[in-house]
C-alpha cells in the first residue's frame, strides 16, 4: 500500500517536555532552529531503497543500504531550499519485507520528516503489505474504493500524483495492478481531467505491449509470472494512461536502471536505485524533481560524486 509519513511537527515535538529535554541533552540543534524554506513544487524521488533491519548489514558484502539512504538524506537536507515531499517508489526494504526492516525504515526517514518533508511510499515486490501496515500509520489519503490494493492520490500545485500498488507476492519479481485498481485510476483521471497527472508505481511497464494478455487464460497468474519480470498488466495500464492526455508522466523503479523514454508524448521515467546497482557502471542515488505548469525538470544525484551521470538533467515538456 502506498503510505504517507507526515512531517514531524516541530511544535508538537517541543511541546513534549521529555522530548525537549532529550533534545537539549542530546544537543539536537536541528530540532529547535527556525523552519527552513521548502518549495511546494520541488520533490525528491527515491526507489529500491531496500533497507535492512540491521543498519550494519551489507548486501552482497558491498553495499550498506542504510548508509546509502543516510547519504541521500544528508544531500537532500543540505540544499538551500528543501523539497516539500519525498516519494519512495517501492522495494522500500530488503527481500522479505520483514517487520523489523520497516522499523529501521522509519528511522531512516526520520531526518527528512523532522525537516518538514512528507514521505510517501509505494510497495514493490520486496515489500510485505501486512508487515508494512503493522509499522506504518494508517494513511488518510488512501483511496478506499480500491479495498484490496490501497492506492494514493497526492495533490500538489501543478499535478496530481497517483501512487499505485503493484505488489502481488512478496519476493516474487513481477507485479500486477488488477482490474479494480486500473478501473479506479481511469475514473479518477477523468474526474480530474483538468489537472496534470503523474502516475507512479514500482514495476516497470516496458515489456508490455509485446506480451499478449498474460493475465488471462489457462496459465493464470503463475504462468504469467514465470514470463514477466515487470508489470504483468502493462497493456491495461497503457490503455488507460496513453489516451488520457492529462497524464504527463509514468514513473517506476524495479529495474535499478536510470532511464527516460517517451511514448506518444508520455514521459516514462525509470528511477535509479538508492540501494545497489546490477551493473557497476550504472548510477545509484536519487532524483530531484521540480514541477511547473508546462513540464518538469529532473536532476540525477549520484551517490558517487564522480559518476559521469551525476548532475544529469532532464527537461521534460508536457504533451
Ligand atoms: Fe522490485
The larger pLDDT score, comparing residue 315 to residue 149, is at 315
Contacts of 125 (CB under 8 A, 6+ apart): 90, 91, 166, 167, 168, 169, 170, 171, 172, 173, 174, 175, 202, 203, 254
**Residues 248, 65: Cα–Cα separation, whole Å:** 31
CA of 19 to the centre of ligand 1 (A): 37
CA of 48 to the centre of ligand 1 (A): 7
Structural domains in the chain?
3-317 (3.60.21.10)
**Residues 246, 198: Cα–Cα separation, whole Å:** 9
Q: Which of 68-72, 142-146, 242-246 has the lowest mean pLDDT?
A: 142-146
Q: The cell 500524483 sits on which residue?
A: 161
Q: How many CB atoms are closer than 10 A to CB 47? A: 31
CA of 80 to the centre of ligand 1 (A): 32
CA of 90 to the centre of ligand 1 (A): 7
Residue 201 confidence (pLDDT) above 90? yes
CA of 166 to the centre of ligand 1 (A): 10
pLDDT tens sequence across 4-16: 677 776 555 444 4
Which pTM does this prediction carry? 0.87
CA of 267 to the centre of ligand 1 (A): 20
Residue 83 confidence (pLDDT) above 60? yes
CA of 109 to the centre of ligand 1 (A): 20
SS3 content of the chain, % helix, strand, coil (to 5): 25, 25, 50
What is the reported pLDDT for 28?
41
Amino acid at each position: 500500500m502506498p503510505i504517507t509519513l507526515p512531517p514531524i511537527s516541530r511544535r508538537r515535538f517541543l511541546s513534549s517536555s521529555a522530548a525537549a529535554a532529550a533534545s537539549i541533552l542530546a544537543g539536537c540543534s536541528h530540532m529547535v532552529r527556525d523552519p527552513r524554506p521548502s518549495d511546494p513544487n520541488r520533490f525528491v524521488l527515491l526507489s529500491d531503497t531496500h533497507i535492512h533491519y540491521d543498519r550494519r548489514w551489507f548486501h552482497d558484502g558491498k553495499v550498506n543500504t542504510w548508509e546509502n539512504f543516510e547519504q541521500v538524506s544528508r544531500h537532500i537536507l543540505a540544499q538551500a531550499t528543501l523539497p516539500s515531499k519525498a516519494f519512495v517508489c517501492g522495494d522500500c526494504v530488503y527481500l522479505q519485507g520483514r517487520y523489523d526492516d520497516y522499523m529501521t525504515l522509519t528511522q531512516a526517514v526520520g531526518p527528512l520528516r523532522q525537516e518538514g518533508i512528507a514521505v510517501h511510499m509505494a510497495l514493490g515486490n520486496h515489500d510485505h503489505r501486512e508487515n508494512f501496515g503493522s509499522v506504518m500509520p494508517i494513511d488518510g489519503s488512501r483511496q478506499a474504493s480500491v479495498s484490496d490494493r490501497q492506492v494514493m492520490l497526492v495533490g500538489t500545485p501543478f499535478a496530481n500524483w497517483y501512487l499505485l500498488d503493484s505488489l502481488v507476492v512478496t519476493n516474487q519479481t513481477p507485479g500486477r495492478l488488477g482490474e479494480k485498481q486500473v478501473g479506479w485510476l481511469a475514473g479518477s483521471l477523468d474526474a480530474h481531467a483538468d489537472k496534470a497527472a503523474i502516475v507512479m508505481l514500482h514495476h516497470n511497464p516496458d515489456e508490455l505491449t509485446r506480451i499478449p494478455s498474460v493475465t488471462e487464460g489457462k496459465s493464470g497468474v503463475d504462468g504469467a509470472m514465470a514470463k514477466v519480470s515487470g508489470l504483468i498488466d502493462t497493456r491495461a495500464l497503457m490503455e488507460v494512461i496513453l489516451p488520457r492526455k492529462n497524464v504527463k508522466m509514468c514513473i517506476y523503479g524495479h529495474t535499478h536502471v536510470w532511464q527516460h523514454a517517451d511514448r506518444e508524448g508520455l514521459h516514462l521515467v525509470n528511477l535509479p536505485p538508492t540501494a545497489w546497482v546490477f551493473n557497476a557502471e550504472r548510477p545509484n542515488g536519487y532524483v530531484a524533481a521540480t514541477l511547473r505548469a508546462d513540464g518538469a525538470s529532473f536532476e540525477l544525484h549520484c551517490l558517487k560524486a564522480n559518476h559521469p551521470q551525476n548532475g544529469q538533467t532532464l527537461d521534460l515538456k508536457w504533451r
